[in-house]
Structure 1
Amino acid sequence: MTATEKPDVLAPAELGPVRLRNRIIKAATYEGLSHKALVTKDLVDFHVAYARGGVGMTTVAYCAVAKEGRTDRHQIYWTDEAMPGLRVLTDAVHAEGAAVSAQIGHGGPVANPKGNGAPALSPTKHFHATSLNWAHETSVADIQRIVEAHAEAARRAIEAGFDAVEVHLGHNYLASSFLSPRINRRTDAYGGSLENRARFAREIMRAVHDAVGGRIAVIAKMNMDDGVPGGFWLDEAIPVAQWFEQDGTVDALEMTAGSSLLNPMYLFKGDAPLKEFAEIMPQPIKLGVKTVGKRFLHSYPYKDAYLLEDARQIRAAVKLPMILLGGVTGKPVMDLAMSEGFEFVAMARALLREPDLVNRLREDASTPSLCIHCNKCMPTNFTGTRCVLVDRSTPRRQNWGKANGYVA
């Protein structure tokens, strides 16, 4: 391929040690389909649909590295009991010709302390307005334990048959909150300067890289912009990306934005589904969403490839393969990403609406996405993530149990 040629997004490509059948990745969207930290038949079917629909790789989101790092009490974490179900899932995806990645990470201040039965963790003590709880300061012993937990999660991902791990360093989850000067007010080796605030994330990536040993691909998903005043921003994201490249611990970078803790809609762009969020929240949070939700759930104008402008600045600063996320809806956006030097694209909402979109794009490149970016899919991750314009079924969690097919 010459310097002027752009890769074909629908052709096979190498991601680290893994060969994908194309350059299109189903981005991580928490499925809300695990039960008691175990894989369910619904979760398997969810990912098989994207594999059958033509993606190169689908991403299981999100597999916490520790029990207290879960953002939902049903979320999978890497127990002995979870492993057989995870193997069923990866085998099912592979049978459809796609690869499968496990998103691993620690929720930190975004974690659910009530559901986990353990305090949430933060670089420094922090109040979470959604859970109405204080997150405890992370000790150095906690840091060391969680770094090793990432390594163990990566080893277990290999055992379960995953082709890649995507390490979650974004959205003000724990590693991201350490990067944030607004949340991280530590005065030790993990706070203060950017080099110190990035230390935890670099230790995680080094531990995961060493645990993997080149057997599967390692992706880092990192914020470019927290979307809050005083937060982590692009001017700091660029050197952190360069440090990952220098460390040699990452096969690809996927750049993201926003804070699940402080500004969750910043990543998604489009409408803020306030009514739908209020409907699924318990009191008193329901009342809070109805009365002051607009102060927390902001609406942002949507446009295709909305993260490209910032991501191309990372692209210019590193030679690492990069995955473009954000407003990837059709072939023109994919081709634009390839022409801008990105090696892969990641899709989420468009595939929730149409799991077979990739197959149809292969047949007719002019096929438009039907996603209208209403974001009403977002509140469904509490009951089974889906596009409500297509799937209006009763929330499935109430019907779960061994009789209804969780894989144990």
Structure 2
Amino acid sequence: MVPDVLAAATLGPVHLRNRVLKAATFEGRTPDGLVSDALVDFHLGFARGGVGMTTVAYLAVCAEGRTHRAQIHVRETALPGLARLADAVHAEGCAINGQLGHAGPVANGRANGVHAITASAMPSPLSMQMMHTATEADLARITRAYASAARVLVRAGFDCLEIHMAHSYLISAFLAPRLNRRRDRWGGSLENRARLARQVAHAVRDEVGNEVAVIAKFSLSDGFKGGLGTAEAIEVAAWLESDGTLDALELSGGSSLMNPMYLFRGETPRQEFIAAMPLPVRIGLRTVGRRFLKEYPYQEAFFLDKARRFRSQLAMPLVLLGGISRLDTMHKAMAEGFEYVAVGRALLRDPNLVNRLAAGTAFNACIHCNRCVPTIYDPAGTRCTVLEEA
């Protein structure tokens, strides 16, 4: 029987009022690196709007793993605010997911005050510094940090933990041959490149057991030459499935470092991106902007073809992401065997979208202009700029 996307469901041990998940979209509402009233209000909008679970984006597991200094670093100091956020979301009948990650080469080492580390040393286009090669000690420390951060989120009352394994963040960088040129046990073969992903997933599951759901955001394709391709990605996903550490995979794609528009599709707001960046990056984007910010036409469920290959070879629950803004698309995902759908930009445009879908009053308000994406660098936070113009 095909599940009803708007009916109650479970994700691991977690009860969800429906199968629509608010995808992680960086909020830009933590100026002090801690939960703010603005961040609580941001997620309350989606909780009141009817999603089954909202996702708090980019919770760094250690200081150098932040994309920049204003990102939340999960630690004891952050616990009271995280608990306040979880309580507020729960009061609206919604579950809450925390996306745990280490930015790796996507970190701005200059802003963080500590050099970024990644699979293999390379220059950072964000900080104009060399990024350091992660040592054995670094990887052991970071793995412990994932487990420690997971425990903090459980204590804060989060229902689900999402391990970030996509978008050229640290784990994703280890998976990509172009970014991982190592000759030790962490590089070379796919099994070696996948070692960190599997090790972190084991550490988090061992720490939290079945107290909460554990999922991963995982690239079905990095979208650049030398990145993780779909065939290898399916192999890694099969290993993660056999390890039994995850309750679901959320299938994403693209690279924040190498090809960001592969994830978004639709219009490419180059001028808005250039204006939002610090001066050195702004200069670089003026030179290489068209090569870096590529054009991909938008279509509903644009990752579906690649995601079908995962569905045909895996038994574990899968979350379909990418261009989902209509109820018929959600129904199609359920009919094709996906257990959940994740929605990002359409919910930024209309946080009340799920309630409208249930009432039969929704329309496809998101025009896929992607002008919301550069607002992650704006002091006012991530938002739909079309709404401001209405």
TM-score by length of 2: 0.98
Aligned length: 388
Which residue of 178, 181, 201 corresponds with 1:182?
Answer: 178
Deviation at 1:287, TM superposition (A): 2.5
- Go from structure 1 to structure 2 and tell me whether the alpha carbon gap of 1:45 and 1:294 turns closer, same or farther (over 3 Å shift): same
Residue aligning to 1:391 = 388
Q: Give matches, 1:37-56, under 5 Å.
A: 37-56=33-52
**Inter-partner Cα distance in structure 2 for 1:270 and 1:354:** 18
Aligned partners of 1:189 and 1:196 also within 8 Å: yes
**Inter-partner Cα distance in structure 2 for 1:285 and 1:192:** 31
Q: Find the residue that maps to 1:266 and give its secondary structure.
A: helix
The answer to whether residue 170 in structure 2 is matched with residue 167 in structure 1 is no
Instruction: For 2:276, give the aligned amino acid.
Output: I
**Inter-partner Cα distance in structure 2 for 1:197 and 1:45:** 39
Residue aligning to 1:115 = 111
Q: Which stretches in structure 1 are left out of the alignment for 5+ residues?
A: 394-408
Which residue of 73, 78, 82 corresponds with 1:82?
Answer: 78
Residue aligning to 1:224 = 220
**Inter-partner Cα distance in structure 1 for 2:370 and 2:126:** 19
Instruction: For 1:372, give the aligned amino acid.
Output: I
Deviation at 1:391, TM superposition (A): 3.2
Deviation at 1:232, TM superposition (A): 0.6
Report Cα offsets for 1:295-321 as digits up to 9, x if no partner: 111110110000111011111111111
Residue aligning to 1:329 = 325
Aligned partners of 2:104 and 2:118 also within 8 Å: yes
**Inter-partner Cα distance in structure 1 for 2:156 and 2:82:** 6
Aligned partners of 2:12 and 2:212 also within 8 Å: yes
Deviation at 1:37, TM superposition (A): 1.2
Instruction: For 1:164, give the aligned amino acid.
Output: C
Which residue of 258, 265, 272 corresponds with 2:268?
Answer: 272
Deviation at 1:79, TM superposition (A): 2.1
Q: Give matches, 1:187-202, under 5 Å.
A: 187-202=183-198
Q: Find the residue that maps to 1:81 and give its secondary structure.
A: helix
Instruction: For 2:358, give the aligned amino acid.
Output: R
Report Cα offsets for 1:64-111 as digits up to 9, x if no partner: 000100002100011222111111100000011100000001000110
* Identity across matched positions, percent: 54
The answer to whether residue 370 in structure 2 is matched with residue 369 in structure 1 is no
Q: Which stretches in structure 2 are left out of the alignment for 5+ residues?
A: none
RMSD of Structure 2 on Structure 1 (CA): 1.2
Q: Find the residue that maps to 1:324 and give its secondary structure.
A: strand
Residue aligning to 2:204 = 208
Q: Find the residue that maps to 1:375 and give its secondary structure.
A: coil
The answer to whether residue 272 in structure 2 is matched with residue 247 in structure 1 is no
Which residue of 143, 147, 155 corresponds with 2:143?
Answer: 147
Q: Find the residue that maps to 2:145 and give its secondary structure.
A: helix
Residue aligning to 1:403 = none
Residue aligning to 2:287 = 291
Report Cα offsets for 1:42-74 as digits up to 9, x if no partner: 000000000000000000001000010000210
Runs of 4 or more above 4 Å deviation? none
**Inter-partner Cα distance in structure 2 for 1:116 and 1:392:** 34
**Inter-partner Cα distance in structure 2 for 1:132 and 1:42:** 31
Report Cα offsets for 1:100-157 as digits up to 9, x if no partner: 0000010001101011111111111112224322211000110011011111111111
The answer to whether residue 25 in structure 2 is matched with residue 29 in structure 1 is yes
Residue aligning to 2:259 = 263
**Inter-partner Cα distance in structure 2 for 1:39 and 1:221:** 22
Deviation at 1:201, TM superposition (A): 0.4
Instruction: For 2:260, give the aligned amino acid.
Output: P
Q: Find the residue that maps to 1:336 and give its secondary structure.
A: helix
Deviation at 1:174, TM superposition (A): 0.2
**Inter-partner Cα distance in structure 1 for 2:146 and 2:245:** 13
**Inter-partner Cα distance in structure 1 for 2:278 and 2:239:** 42
Deviation at 1:212, TM superposition (A): 1.0
Deviation at 1:392, TM superposition (A): 6.2
Q: Find the residue that maps to 1:284 and give its secondary structure.
A: helix
Residue aligning to 1:402 = none
**Inter-partner Cα distance in structure 2 for 1:31 and 1:253:** 22
**Inter-partner Cα distance in structure 1 for 2:388 and 2:132:** 39
Instruction: For 1:247, give the aligned amino acid.
Output: D
Residue aligning to 1:406 = none
Instruction: For 1:32, give the aligned amino acid.
Output: G
**Inter-partner Cα distance in structure 1 for 2:73 and 2:384:** 26
Q: Find the residue that maps to 2:172 and give its secondary structure.
A: helix
